[in-house]
Amino acid sequence: MADHPDPPAPDTGRVEPSGRQGDANPPRGAASLGAHSVIYLVGTALQGLGVLLVLPFATRLLGQVEYGKVATALVVVQMIGTVAAAGLPQVILREYHRGDDGPTAGRALAGTMVGLAVALGVIGVVLGVVLSATGRVDLVQWCLVVVASAALTTVVAGQSLSRARLRPLHFLLLAVFSTVVAHLSGLLAAQGDRSSRTYLTAYATALVAAAVLALVVGRPLPPTAARERVRAGIRLAAPLLPQAVAMLGLLMGDVLLANRLLGDAAAGNYQVALQLGNIPFVLAVALFNGWGPLVLSHPQEQRWEWTGRTGTALLAVVVVGSGLVGATGAWLARVVAGGAFDIDGIGATVAVLSLVAVLYMLYQGSSLAALDSERTGRLALAALAGVVVLVVASVPLAAGFGFAGIAVAKLVGYAVLAGATVVASRRTLRWPVAAWFALGVAVAATSVSTLGGPVLGIGVAVVLLVGGAVIAPRVLHTLRR
């Protein structure tokens, strides 16, 4: 890692000797990767834990029907917010660290996202008025979803700038405010009126406040501040829009397929397995949130050698985490699920789903290389191919293996995603042999845990713990270099 032991200069806007604006932070010191990863890990875990703590109370407070409306609205908000971002968060991260005018370009692209959010809000409200006039939608409920989606898009713009500036605490602040605080607001408001409309009104209001905070923290600029860079960024981001939609399909499509192909009971079992199997996935996302900005801010001449080395170290961490969750999946299922659930099936499914995180970590590293070399079209094709494989493979696998077959289909879909992205970026980033060895260890641990049962799974967990302890000093040494 580059040696920059001094903290970054304050954000004064003055021109630094390097020629960049003071708004840009130079590459951080040797401890940055570990420190950032820990903050992002805590933030990601806190987001999930906060929502999980609030939602059980919400289900009991609102009841099945009203909470069903809230749950549906929240999914729509997440999907619209992701699509409305139009692939710009990744491009902001890339452009911010390219050239002396990079910070200005990044902030102008973030301003473009805010403009898209405002346009989304205006068009959505107008459409809602038209549809409500024909009696097709509830105008108030519709407008709450539209406003929340626009606010979430603005929050993501602020978070993108926080990541680009290497300021994870700002990212954490916005993440907690837009999730935990927003849901708590809805829960508290619904104490007096147990309706989905009251909950969503408070939730949307809190998201608007989070959007205002994102504008204050991020300080985006209008697109005209860097007109040419913004146009180039939009062209680069365009293929990432279908990619974002496809990634949503990979992330959530398996739940819909389980319900559609196997019914409610199987979907309930699968949902429990997915919650447990996503634990290492959250770890992978959190590590990437700390690692990605440091990769693209690293000196070009050393960037991809450093990326392969540190990425392999982080991959090893994910492999250990994935293996531990997969090996103890049956035991974890006994803790979180009652006797009416298929504990053995859930345990095997957890083992399969935990391996997704390892493939996703490989994909994330290679996607940075593809983005930096402007091969975003390849990323879109890889994601679309992964979704197609997930859907096509789910039908025979679900018929043959039940809900565990859906997990296998998802794993194959992510294998296609990771493989295609690695191939697309191979001229820029070549993963070391150690990375492929780590992947082999993960596959072996998953196979033994799936086929060997709970008792043998404990043995796998012990082996992984011992192995993790042995390689920990080397991993830390790699991350500090």
Q: Is the pLDDT of residue 130 over 80?
A: yes
Q: What does the pLDDT read at residue 338?
A: 60
Query: Which residue(s) pair with 474 in the sheet?
Result: none
Contact predicate 161/92, CB 8 Å: yes
**In the chain, what percentage of residues exceed pLDDT 90?**
19
9-27 confidence digits (pLDDT tens):
333 333 333 334 444 444 4
Q: Which residue has the higher pLDDT, 265 or 399?
A: 399
Structure-derived torsion over alpha carbons of residues 29, 34, 39, 44, reported in degrees to the nearest 10: 140
Residue 314 contacts residue 435 (beta carbons within 8 Å): no
pLDDT of residue 339: 65
**How far apart are the C-alpha atoms of 399 and 407, rounded to whole Å?**
13
Confidence class of residue 207 from pLDDT cuts 50, 70 and 90? very high
pLDDT at 315: 92
More confident residue, 241 or 214: 214
Tokens 């949307």, residue located: 204
Dump pLDDT digits (tens) for 213-228: 999 988 998 888 888 8
Q: Which of 54 and 282 is assigned the larger pLDDT?
A: 282
* 242-256 average pLDDT score: 78
User: Does the pLDDT at position 55 exceed 70?
Assistant: no
**Range 103-117 average pLDDT:** 88
CA 171 to chain centre: 13
pLDDT at residue number 343: 79
pLDDT band at 333 (very low <50, low <70, confident <90, very high): confident
- With bands split at pLDDT 50, 70 and 90, how would you rate the model's confidence at 450? confident
Q: Distance between CA 97 and CA 296 in Å, rounded?
A: 7
